[in-house]
Structure 1
Amino acid sequence: MSTHDFRELIEKNKTQFYDDLAKIIAIPSVKEKPELGAPYGIQNKKVLEKIIEIAESYGFQAQLVDNALAYIQVGSAEDYIGIIGHLDVVAAGGKWTYPPFKLTQANGKLYGRGILDNKGPIFSCLYGLKLLSEQGYRLNKTLRIIFGTDEESGSSDINCYLESEKAPTFAFTPDCKYPVVYGERGIINVEMISILPPESLARISEIEGEQARSFVPDMLTCSLEGEMLSVRGKRAPSNAPELGENAITLLAEKIKNHTEDSVLKAYFTGLYDALHEKHHGEGMEMAWQDEMSGKLSMTPYLLEKTTTGFKLGLSIRYPVSYTEAQILAGLEKVANQAEIPTKVALIRSLPSLLVDKNRLEIKQLTKAYGDVTGLDSTPVTTTGATYARFLPETVAFGPSFPGQKGIAHNVDEYMDEEDLLLNMEIYMNAILNLCE
């Protein structure tokens, strides 16, 4: 394996790269209701058609898979190396400085929904392969670049792919961070369902505001005994709650301080004491950690009034040496000790992922990253969830560099222009190393 300096080549060709990337960013590929020939909605089908159109203009053969994914392939062997990313994005909520579905260059940054997660990085792999082909590099292994459209909503597209296509012998997804990510923490979403007496519930309205499991909510309002209560926090990805200010616990603080109802006061005091700025389970006696993957992460992402009480949604990412059963047992203990009758409902379950960090392909990726950047290339683990959990023999690799966190699902999603081009250089070297 050798290292190639592609910086001048990338710089010379970046205008076309940006022009074609802009065509992908322009499509608002947020999952919608399924339609005939479009299982994840019309916009997600359109973005697949656009990536095929662009890839074919580069001279690659492209294939649509069940209208859910697309891939380009170089080589004809049955076994292949894979690169897999996604073209679906989360909704562009909030107030943006720049149009979310227009690629904008400003102050050395590139803005647009999907520029980081994940249109920019996976497209840089395609464009990097184009540059390698034009420079006459020949791959000794078959390579596929695969484009999915359901990563943000459960990755069901991978099942579609595996029903008709053979899995890669090894793959990476440019949808996390550097260096190579050899382990992903287990993830569960639970609902803590509490029952309150009707007379207490009647004192408070429904909770209003945007809430979803992918982010820390930033604005919530409700009416308490005729008084409007409103809080403003700071949105952040749910896997980095410490970067935000959670409106759920801020609202709980206001409610407990404004109500005279003993049941409401007990419920919201308990919620506040257990979760306000306690991101690692310490408020529930679940401050667990291990050497490989660090501390447990616990994020409240949903507070909803029901006909019988309240539903509190928690996103929990737990260290790789722990089990889902241990996490649920800890939550059940908390529920059993609560003043308000509470039960735990498991909503989503993603077991942890651990890959042998000494396998050859990981060493090849590690070399590409270390040689291009000069940074520490020791493989790491993550709190995130990527396609690597669903596609066999797959790890995450980039695009965020150490210290970069909490950008993907926010308003004004961006990448530094220099970082995106550096990603392309790393991926070009990675392709050559894997397919030497």
Structure 2
Amino acid sequence: MKEKIHALSEEMVANLGRLVAIDSQLGTPEEGKPFGEGPAKALSVGLQIAEEMGFRTVNLDNYCGYAEMGEGDEIVGIAGHLDIVPVGGDWSYNPFELTRKGDYVYGRGTTDDKGPVMEALYAMKLLRDSGVKLNKRVRLIMGCNEETGSRCMQHYNEVAEELSCGFTPDASFPCIHGEKGHMGMTVYSKNTKIIAMNGGFVSNAVCDNCTAVIPAEDGLKEKLEAAFANTKLQEYKVTEENGEIHIEAKGVPAHASTPTLGVNAAGVIFECLEQVGFEDDFVKFYNSHIGTSCDGVGVGLKCQDAYGELTLCNGIVKTEDGVISCTIDIRVPVTFKEEDIRSMCEGKLEDENGRIEINSIGNPLFFPRESPLVEALYKAYVDVTGDTENEPMVIGGGTYAKTLKNIIAFGPEKLGVDYRIHGSDEYILVSEMEEAVLIYMEAIKNLLAI
């Protein structure tokens, strides 16, 4: 089977290129296109590729669509997404043109999540062509709004059939049996001398670039330069003119589920401003409530359970009408409930220098390790790779598994590898795509047998 998969890999990569060429980030809604032009176009092309491969396809009002094979009342579902996060950052390659360098294929969406959608589609094709008896329908759902709310899958739940079991190829191998809860907050300044501060481009990634303008003070420029020299910023620049100091800071990008892997440029600026004696109400508030520790200790949320600890990420900072606001993305350990979190931070979200609003708290997802779904998927991974060291795990990221019933996240990323999914030069490996196709074929067979 590996030879058959390898023989199709050029075709698979070419079809991935058709999807990568489409800028499918959230656009302006219009009639019949709830997420704008780009996601609708990506869905159209994704379904067209599936039709070319001989699958039945259905478009569910441009929220999502699916390709299907087999017969029966039960459905083995695979849910991937075709929407992307904004490009951001400094790319070495055109993010909307697939660039291949040996085993590496670069482009926005290659790993998150257009590549995995293609892997699942080719797994279905090869399984069908091998003559395996399909006692259930196998349905690949292509969503258009995973990165900005998963409203596509809410629509699926309203208009289409419930899945019997399945997976979303939008995380890591070997298998994800739990996803932390999600909490969104916004921090607001009350009084600040900071003239302007702006940074970050999405709320679910570390603010890795930030600019600030503050009133000049004697010796402040030199003190700031000395302070920035002792940080983990990749680059910084401090200039002074017309009574103002302009700061440019470049940190390190990271996904909001793993913020400790990044460097928050805004957080470093706030930290350094306090270090050099820049007296400001909001600087005090940010440093005491948010800071650069990523653990929520400043708002009373530092906690953990057997499956992981709470993480806090500042994604976007902006200034409007003299008020600075900061988006905060928190991932809550799976055994903590909404009421636990609310009581932990009660009374710690506001003082005379600033305030924090809770925008949303989403529940976690958890399947016991010994559940048939987890066992079926994990077995497929082990049978193909031989890897028994890595066990099913709980992650901080959120996937379609929280919106669709009876599915969990399953691959295709390898642990410990940074595919730069929300950063510049996102990539996928062709050899890993081929292996993932084989793993997904085994997974579908196992799910057909449940």
Q: 1:204 aligns with which of 186, 194, 198?
A: 194
Task: From the superposition, tell whether residues 165 and 308 of structure 1 become closer, same or farther in structure 2 (CA, over 3 Å).
Answer: same
Q: Deviations over 1:271-298 (max 9, x none)?
A: 235544412234445321111x211101
Task: From the superposition, tell whether residues 209 and 277 of structure 1 become closer, same or farther in structure 2 (CA, over 3 Å).
Answer: closer
Shift of 1:345: 1.4
- Equivalences for 1:16-415 in 2 at 5 Å? 16-196=11-191, 201=192, 203-225=193-215, 226-257=244-275, 260=278, 262=279, 264=280, 266-272=281-287, 274-291=289-306, 293-307=307-321, 309-335=323-349, 338=351, 340-376=352-388, 378-405=391-418, 407-415=420-428
SS in 2 for 1:64: strand
Shift of 1:305: 3.5
Task: From the superposition, tell whether residues 247 and 70 of structure 1 become closer, same or farther in structure 2 (CA, over 3 Å).
Answer: same
Task: From the superposition, tell whether residues 183 and 401 of structure 1 become closer, same or farther in structure 2 (CA, over 3 Å).
Answer: same
Shift of 1:368: 0.3
Shift of 1:60: 0.9
**In the aligned structure 1, how far is the partner of 2:419 from the partner of 2:122?**
26
SS in 2 for 1:237: coil
**In the aligned structure 2, how far is the partner of 1:210 from the partner of 1:380?**
29
**In the aligned structure 1, how far is the partner of 2:346 from the partner of 2:277?**
28
380-389 or 203-212: which moved more?
A: 203-212
Q: Partner letter of residue 127 of structure 2?
A: L
**In the aligned structure 1, how far is the partner of 2:407 from the partner of 2:128?**
24
Structure-2-length-normalised TM-score: 0.88
**In the aligned structure 2, how far is the partner of 1:345 from the partner of 1:227?**
30
Tell me which residue corresponds to 2:221: none
Shift of 1:354: 1.2
**In the aligned structure 1, how far is the partner of 2:289 from the partner of 2:29?**
40
Tell me which residue corresponds to 2:437: 424
Shift of 1:313: 2.3
**In the aligned structure 2, how far is the partner of 1:117 from the partner of 1:185?**
19
**In the aligned structure 2, how far is the partner of 1:394 from the partner of 1:132?**
20
**In the aligned structure 2, how far is the partner of 1:138 from the partner of 1:127?**
17
Asked if the contact 1:243–1:406 (Cα under 8 Å) also holds between the matched residues in 2, the reply is no
Asked if the contact 1:121–1:174 (Cα under 8 Å) also holds between the matched residues in 2, the reply is yes
Q: Partner letter of residue 236 of structure 1?
A: A
Structure-1-length-normalised TM-score: 0.91
**In the aligned structure 1, how far is the partner of 2:314 from the partner of 2:415?**
26
Asked if the contact 1:248–1:301 (Cα under 8 Å) also holds between the matched residues in 2, the reply is no
Asked if the contact 2:198–2:317 (Cα under 8 Å) also holds between the matched residues in 1, the reply is no
SS in 2 for 1:433: helix
Asked if the contact 2:204–2:313 (Cα under 8 Å) also holds between the matched residues in 1, the reply is no
Asked if the contact 1:82–1:171 (Cα under 8 Å) also holds between the matched residues in 2, the reply is yes
**In the aligned structure 2, how far is the partner of 1:350 from the partner of 1:285?**
18
Q: Deviations over 1:44-81 (max 9, x none)?
A: 11111111211111111111111211111112323211
Shift of 1:16: 1.1
Sequence identity percentage: 31
Q: Partner letter of residue 382 of structure 2?
A: G
Q: Deviations over 1:76-123 (max 9, x none)?
A: 323211001100111111221111111211142111111110000111
Asked if the contact 1:168–1:393 (Cα under 8 Å) also holds between the matched residues in 2, the reply is yes
SS in 1 for 2:11: helix
Asked if the contact 1:86–1:150 (Cα under 8 Å) also holds between the matched residues in 2, the reply is yes
Aligned pairs, number: 420
Please, which runs of 5 or more residues in structure 2 have no aligned partner? 216-243
**In the aligned structure 2, how far is the partner of 1:268 from the partner of 1:138?**
64
Asked if the contact 2:88–2:201 (Cα under 8 Å) also holds between the matched residues in 1, the reply is no
**In the aligned structure 2, how far is the partner of 1:42 from the partner of 1:313?**
27
**In the aligned structure 2, how far is the partner of 1:160 from the partner of 1:229?**
44
